[in-house]
Structure 1
Amino acid sequence: MRNYLFILFGLFYVVGSAQVERTTPLLLPVGSSLQESSLKAYALDSAFVYRNIDSIITNGIKNNAFPGAQVLVAKEGNIIFHHAYGFHTYDSIQPVALNDIYDLASVTKILGPLPAIMKLVDEGKLDLDEPFSTYWKPWKRHKDKRNITLREILAHQAGLAPYIVFLSKTLKNNGRFKNRFLRTKANRNFSNRAFDDIYVKNRFNRKMYRIINRSEVAADKKYKYSGLSFLIFPELIAQLTGMPYEQYLEEQFYKPLGMKTFGFLPSTKNFSNNIVPTEIDTLYRHTLTQGWVHDENASLLGGISGNAGLFGTAQDLAIIMQMYVQGGLFNGKQYLSKNTVQEFTSVQYPANDNRRGLGFDKPYLKNDQFTLANAYPAPEVSATSFGHSGFTGTFVWADPEHQLVYIFLSNRVFPTRENRNIYDLNIRPAIQQIFYSAFDRSKQHDH
């Protein structure tokens, strides 16, 4: 049974830093696993929380870390905090609303290909410790890739190249399109839409796969983040399930979970929600990117990829992260086995100084011994916690031990990706830390 979140988003949102306490909780359908609650319900000092988050976000906006942002926190499946701040752009015209849709960038990796891969592992169609070339046949022909396992790939322990700029293959030296790869009008060979008026050759994905298949692999096996395999995963998932990747995700996860806006290519879907703009692109779109994926590699795959391309609201993100926190269970339905979720969210190669789970990011090893400035994310998160960040300024984190889900959404790449103050000011972990501090303070009061 589908359990959609019937929330009248438009009734409330917060503009700038002005905070509005909700007087009546918004009720979800009975039996839904995400309920509206409040800081007060958990005896948290709301003045402390609001004051500190206001201060961090106001400082972020003032220092051009982002024009606006929103924060959602759920405890034990209850949304105790969800507020929006600032505007879509620095002209302060369109305030951020709670049902805005964001380009999630690399957060796509753990919410697109990963649930599908976990399900295929559950079904015995993928084995983490078999050579990946068992499933992705071209790698059998490459000696340096033949024996790499899926476990090594997902834990970024395979020595794969971090990134390949495929855009350079599609542009001439003067920046104009190579006509054999990019066109401004669609036809039957160019039906993959990358932007309002940019169409990619349908078979360009095969060129990308060939380049990845031939890419160099480092001789020494150590932690090195690589997004390349995530460009291959959608094709592999389609082969193993007999269904297009995006359709498989929609039918197996997003729809039954009740995620209303989650998915690829939101510009084609007539949502009433606003889509937050990302960058004023000077590389190949030469205009504001909004409603089309920001990441160039995902764009050249027609916006449907495993490395980026997903869009959604904070509420949608909270649902799927809650499903992970509950070991694959949501609303009485077991989407993934508990063992598989635990395996994927566990550190794989600690002896190699690699903090990563399978696809999931994890806290630094010995994170609780660091100060906020040196930790990742906040030092208070448990060692069982996991999540991922996105290049556009997004961040999701789940902590099963504390039963906490933390979501931070922004468009820090507006107007340019050169804006790095979100990192320099350490905004996302600092906000996360406030909630752990608030729970600590309430415990102390109890004693």
Structure 2
Amino acid sequence: MAHSQVPGSKSIPPGLPEGSLASLGVDSAALHHRVDSLVHLGIESEAFPGAQVLVAFQGKRIFHKAYGFHTYDSLWPTRESDVYDLASVTKIAAALPALMKLTGEGQLDLDAPFSDYWRPWKRRRDKRNLTLREILAHQAGLEPYIVFLSDVRSRQGLRRRFVRESPSAGFRREAYPNRYVRNRFVRKMYRKINRSQVSREKTYRYSGLAFLLFPQLVEDLTGEPFDAYLRKHIYDPLGLDHLGFLPARRQPGSVVVPTEADSIFRNDLTRGWVHDENAALMGGVSGNAGLFGTAADLAVLMECYSNYGKYRGVRILDSATVREFARVQFPDNDNRRGLGFDKPLPDNASLPLQEAYPAPLASPRSFGHSGFTGTFVWADPENQLVFIFLSNRVYPSREHRQLYELGLRKRLQQVFYEALISTP
């Protein structure tokens, strides 16, 4: 696949350049042993059947290793080139780059009422004055989540009014093979979001609702479909061939790690189609979930963020805009969040590892996001460290919560901080 470029830029070679632990004075065998032990603990505890860890330091990939298998029957070993359902990492790897691009170009104003761009909110008294800054920092008081799947299911099964097993003129949105959603159902989703309650108490309250609206917002502002806009302006210029939506259609030969054995909507082991039901009902392209990718592609994107929008000499995003999005917005409201980005807990460095988020050694300037399927990405500009962890912890069921209980992601991240940041 040929990479498109930012006009006037040089072509970017794919992937991060290779570095070595030995050149950094790190005991490679000891580091590998510590990481291997933690990941194997996760596999043995059935936190996930397989996983991979990628770490970049000072702009170079110094660790990338795949562990375990796609499923517990140990038939398909995990490989470094595997594609994962990124879940809520979509928020910072798809919605945010588009919003940052448009903000940097002056097409979006973080402090203007969001209703200037999403007109139905002009008619909603509790939403008309909410700003994009408040929404992205989860400070707007929006409802956390709406389960739209409840609209398409009854005790008898899926409602044919909304979901059919074969496509037709009115049912073109493919949520999964043999699951076609009524074209106009997305309007019903928008209406429910528009009418949803807003808390009068403006405190930190995580909400993914607006991220369901952002793809349409991007198309309204640019005239380009959300996924096409990202491909043209972000992914292709960075050489990110495997980062995208709908891999089962876009890259049918790619190896996608399965997620959940779903008995509610798909009645199948979900592989290559988004796990999140809300994103699925939108046809697989959303700002809250639906993005798939490899660890290598995510590392490039996070390295670009760590350099505040620049990668290998090529400017992708406006530097001041990325810095603003990566900054804590409402520290006086006990809100750690940036704009879309997650941030370390206040006083994180002084917390014990079991209470910290993420690793205690992550700097206050660092930022990233986690995903429901077992994904986690983090960039630390101050320490020049990018950490990627990918797993399918929802296999075979989302009830598997050992990943959280064991705190494996921050424990792994801390291992690399201890090995790399203390080196001369």
- TM-score, normalized by the shorter chain, greater than 0.5: yes
Kindly indicate whether the alpha-carbon contact (under 8 Å) linking 1:393 and 1:411 is maintained by their aligned counterparts in 2.
yes
Find the partner of 1:120 among 102, 106, 109: 102
Q: 1:299 aligns with which of 251, 262, 280?
A: 280
Whole-Å separation in 1 of the counterparts to 2:204 and 2:18: 40
Do the aligned partners of 2:14 and 2:238 also contact (CA within 8 Å) in 1?
A: no
CA separation of 1:322 and 1:299: change in aligned 2, threshold 3 A: same
Match of 1:290 in 2: 271
Query: Are the aligned partners of 2:309 and 2:319 in contact in 1 as well (CA < 8 Å)?
Result: yes
Match of 1:89 in 2: 71
Contact conserved, 2:12 with 2:238, CA < 8 A, in 1?
Answer: no
Aligned residue in 1 for 2:8: none
User: 2:12, 2:184 → 1: CA distance?
Assistant: 47
1:166 to 148, 159, 164: 148
Paired AA for residue 81 in structure 1:
F
Identity of aligned residues (%): 57
On the 8 A contact 2:89/2:369 being kept in 1, the answer is yes
Find out whether 1:355 has 2:356 as its counterpart.
Answer: no
1:271 Cα deviation after fit = 4.6
Q: Whole-Å Cα distance in 2 between the matches of residues 33 and 189 of structure 1?
A: 41
Gaps of 5+ in 1: 5-28
SS of 1:442's partner is: coil
Deviation readout 1:35-61 (Å, 9 max, x if unpaired) = 011211211111221111111111110
State the partner residue of 1:424.
405
Question: Which residue is 2:133 aligned to?
Answer: 151
**Structure 2 residue 403 is the aligned partner of structure 1 residue 402:** no
Shift of 1:32: 6.4
Aligned AA for 2:134? E
Q: 2:370 aligns with which of 381, 389, 398?
A: 389
3-state SS, counterpart of residue 153 of structure 2: coil
Is it true that 1:2 corresponds to 2:3 in the alignment?
A: yes
**C-alpha distance in structure 1 between counterparts of 2:227 and 2:310, whole Å:** 21
- Matched with 1:46 is 28
1:190 partner amino acid: F
- Residue 137 of structure 1 corresponds to 119
Q: Deviations over 1:198-253 (max 9, x none)?
A: 01111111100000000000010000000000000000010001111110000001
Is the 2:336–2:344 Cα contact (8 Å) retained in structure 1?
Answer: yes
- The question of 1:241 aligning with 2:189 is answered no
Q: Is the 2:153–2:159 contact (alpha carbons within 8 Å) kept by the matching residues of 1?
A: yes
Check whether the contact 1:3–1:32 (CA below 8 A) recurs between aligned residues: no
CA contact (8 A) 2:15 2:296 kept: no
- CA gap of 1:3–1:40, structure 2 versus 1, over 3 A, is farther
* 1:156-195 paired onto structure 2 within 5 Å: 156-174=138-156, 176-195=157-176
Q: Comparing 180-189 with 101-110, which one deviates more in the overlay?
A: 180-189
Query: Which amino acid in 2 is paired with 1:88?
Result: H
User: Residue 79 of structure 1 corresponds to which residue in structure 2?
Assistant: 61
Which moves more between the two structures, 264-273 or 232-241?
264-273
Q: Which amino acid aligns with 1:376?
A: Y
Q: Partners of 1:210 and 1:321 in 2: how far apart? A: 34
Distance 1:82 1:51 in 2: 14
- Describe the superposition over 1:93-126 as per-residue Cα deviations: whole angstroms up to 9, x where unpaired: 1000000000000000001111111111111111
Aligned position for 1:270? 251
Deviation larger for 267-276 or 350-359:
267-276
1:24-83 CA-to-partner distances (Å, cap 9, x unmatched) read xxxxx9866720112112111112211111111111101000000000000121000000
> Structure 2 CA distance, aligned partners of 1:271 and 1:79?
28
Superposition deviation, residue 305 in structure 1:
0.3
Per-residue Cα deviation, 1:142-197 (whole angstroms, up to 9, x for no partner)? 100010000000000000000000000001123x1111110000011111100011
Supply the distance in 1 between the matched residues of 2:262 and 2:192 (Cα, whole angstroms). 25
Match of 2:187 in 1: 206
TM-score (norm 2): 0.96
Q: Where does residue 22 of structure 1 map in the other structure?
A: none
Structure 2 regions of 5+ residues with no counterpart?
A: 6-10
**Cα distance between partner residues in 1 of 2:418 and 2:312:** 30
- Report the 3-state secondary structure (helix = DSSP H, G, I; strand = E; otherwise coil) of the residue aligned with 2:321: helix
Return closer, same or farther for 1:69/1:31 CA change in 2, 3 Å cut-off. Answer: closer
- Provide the residue aligned with 1:314 in structure 2: 295
Count of residues paired in the alignment: 418
Measured in 2, the distance between the counterparts of 1:281 and 1:140 equals 39
Cα distance change of structure 1 residues 339 and 289 upon mapping to structure 2, 3 Å threshold? same
Match of 1:225?
206
Pick closer, same or farther for the CA change 1:145–1:3 going to 2, 3 Å.
Answer: closer
Partner of 1:14: none
Q: Is the 8 A contact 2:14 2:240 kept in 1?
A: no
CA contact (8 A) 2:101 2:317 kept: yes
Shift of 1:442: 2.9
Offset, 1:2? 3.4
- Indicate the residue corresponding to 1:433 in structure 2: 414
Q: Which amino acid aligns with 1:110?
A: I
Distance between the aligned counterparts of 1:110 and 1:270, measured in 2?
Answer: 22
Residues 144 and 272 of structure 1: CA distance in aligned 2, closer, same or farther (over 3 Å): same
What is residue 332 of structure 1 aligned with on the other side?
313
Query: 1:118 and 1:439, CA in 2 relative to 1: closer, same or farther beyond 3 A?
Result: same
Partners in 1 of 2:345 and 2:99 — Cα distance? 25
Higher mean C-alpha deviation, range 102-111 or range 44-53: 44-53
Task: Check 1:74–1:271 CA distance in 2 against 1; reply closer, same or farther (3 A cut).
Answer: farther
Q: TM-score, normalised by structure 1?
A: 0.91
Q: Cα distance, 1:440 vs. partner?
A: 4.3
User: Could you say what secondary structure the match of 2:373 adopts?
Assistant: coil
Q: What is the DSSP-based 3-state SS (H/G/I as helix, E as strand, rest coil) of the residue aligned with 1:112?
A: helix
What is the CA RMSD across the aligned residues, in angstroms?
1.4
